[in-house]
A and B are shown apart, each in its own frame.
Chain A
Amino acid sequence: TQLLEQSPQFLSIQEGENLTVYCNSSSVFSSLQWYRQEPGEGPVLLVTVVTGGEVKKLKRLTFQFGDARKDSSLHITAAQPGDTGLYLCAGASRNFNKFYFGSGTKLNVKP
């Protein structure tokens, strides 16, 4: 059972375009994290969102946590080739014993 569904699975865009990727669940999470993973490497944490409705910005990346804490989105403005990678969302269980990961969105930004 996949607790977190990410969409789209694959996204190929031109440099300079904007994009949004989504992370949805029927479960409520105590917190939600976004990671970026490059081939052959482990995921690297980008942001943690905790409060329903919370919006966080990291340069050209904007992260939003849904009001009900079941879904999240990541918006990238003016994408660059360096943004290429696998974007994973992860929800924390109630006792924070584990993080459930989505299957990821593979982003390719063409120069």
Chain B
Amino acid sequence: NAGVMQNPRHLVRRRGQEARLRCSPMKGHSHVYWYRQLPEEGLKFMVYLQKENIIDESGMPKERFSAEFPKEGPSILRIQQVVRGDSAAYFCASSRTGTGFNEKLFFGSGTQLSVL
């Protein structure tokens, strides 16, 4: 009964490289959220996706960042030409329906991105 799976747990990139972060939601969940967390801070919303659709990307930087959730396979958060300021923990969460008063988010263990 696997939970939300994120990989890799740790990712080191040099400035200018690309970072690809993967998230497999819980079984039966078709809604995925990506959040970013800096040390000693809360989570900042980035993007909300359903299968093959971006529902809300209001928290995504306009450049270099993109996200997808294909029909088959995990959700991918892609950061092109990384800069030191991209260093953070990136968390993925999934939910069953995406709506409702008692909607529950289940989080993965995160990917710690370090940009050298």
Do A and B bind?
yes
Footprint of B on A, CB under 8 Å? Answer: 4, 6, 30-31, 33, 40-45, 48, 50, 88, 90, 92, 95-104, 106
Cross-chain contact A98 with B102 (CB below 8 angstroms)? no
The reply to whether the CB of B74 lies closer than 8 angstroms to some CB of chain A is no
Which of B45, B101, B106 is in CB contact (< 8 Å) with A98? B45
B89-108 to A contact mask, C-beta < 8 Å, 1/0? 00101000011111111111
Number of A-B residue pairs, CB cutoff 8 Å, is 67
- Contact of A104 with B99 at beta-carbon distance under 8 Å, contacts A41-B110, A42-B110 already known: no
Cross-chain contact A41 with B42 (CB below 8 angstroms)? no
Which of B42, B45, B56, B93 is in CB contact (< 8 Å) with A88? B42
The reply to whether the CB of B63 lies closer than 8 angstroms to some CB of chain A is no
Cross-chain contact A97 with B104 (CB below 8 angstroms)? no
- Contact of A97 with B48 at beta-carbon distance under 8 Å, contacts A45-B104, A50-B102 already known: yes
The main secondary structure of chain A at its interface with chain B is loop
The reply to whether the CB of B41 lies closer than 8 angstroms to some CB of chain A is yes
The reply to whether the CB of B40 lies closer than 8 angstroms to some CB of chain A is yes
User: Given A92-B103, A100-B45, 14 more contacts at CB 8 Å?
Assistant: A4-B42, A31-B101, A41-B110, A42-B4, A42-B91, A42-B93, A90-B43, A96-B100, A99-B45, A99-B105, A101-B44, A102-B42, A103-B41, A103-B42
Cross-chain contact B48 with A88 (CB below 8 angstroms)? no
Shortest Cβ distance from A4 into B: residue: B42
Chain B nearest Cβ from A105, distance in angstroms: 10
Cross-chain contact A42 with B104 (CB below 8 angstroms)? no
Expressed in whole angstroms, the Cα–Cα distance for A4 and B107 within the complex equals: 20
Cross-chain contact B42 with A104 (CB below 8 angstroms)? yes
Cross-chain contact A104 with B41 (CB below 8 angstroms)? yes
Expressed in whole angstroms, the Cα–Cα distance for A1 and B33 within the complex equals: 20
Cross-chain contact B56 with A98 (CB below 8 angstroms)? yes
Expressed in whole angstroms, the Cα–Cα distance for A31 and B102 within the complex equals: 8
Which of B35, B91, B101 is in CB contact (< 8 Å) with A48? B101
The reply to whether the CB of B12 lies closer than 8 angstroms to some CB of chain A is no
